[in-house]
Homo-oligomer: A and B are copies of this chain.
Amino acid sequence: MTDHDALFDEAHRLTRMLVHVGEEAKADFAAAVAPFNIPVGVARAILLLDAPAPMRELAGRLVCDQSYITGIADKLEERGLVMRVPGEDRRIKLLALTSAGTELRDRIAGAVAQQAMVMLRLTDAERAQLGPLLTRLLDSVPPESRGTR
C-alpha cells in the first residue's frame, strides 16, 4: 500500500468514526426529547426560538425548506407553544414562544444538557483538544467548492 492509500484509509477511518459519534449524539438528543412527546424537528425549532424569529430565518437555521417550517409552526401552534405574529413587512410572520412555550423550551434545554451528553465522556483536557479540531474541520470549507446542497 502506498503512502497515498494509507492517508486515504486513515482519513476514511476517522470519518466513519466521526459520523458514528455524530449519530450517537443525535440519538441521544432524540432520547432526551422523547419524554416531551414532540417530534425531534419541533424540539429543534423550539430550542432556536430564543427570540421571535421569521419563519424564513428558521428554515435557514434548520437547513430545510420553508414549507417544512409551516408544518412545524402548525404543530407548535396546536400545542399553544408559539404564536404567529405579523412582522413590519406584513409578508413576514414571526414565531414567538408563548409563556407555555418558553417554559417547555427551558425544560427541553435542561433535558438535552443533562442526559445524552456524549461529550461528557471526555475529560476537560480532551474537550479542549477537540474544540479546535472541529473548528478547523468546519472553517476550512472553501465556500465556493461546496456546490448546491
Contacts and interface: CB of A to CB of B under 8 A. Distances in A.
B15 A19 contact: no
Q: Could you say which interface size class chain A belongs to?
A: 35 or more
A140 interface: yes
Copies in the complex: 2
A27 interface: yes
A17 B122 contact: no
A126 B136 contact: yes
Interface string A18-62: 111111111100010000000000000000000000000000000
Interface stretch (A68-76, A88-96, A97-105, A127-135): A127-135
Given A19-B22, A21-B22, A131-B14, A122 B137 contact: yes
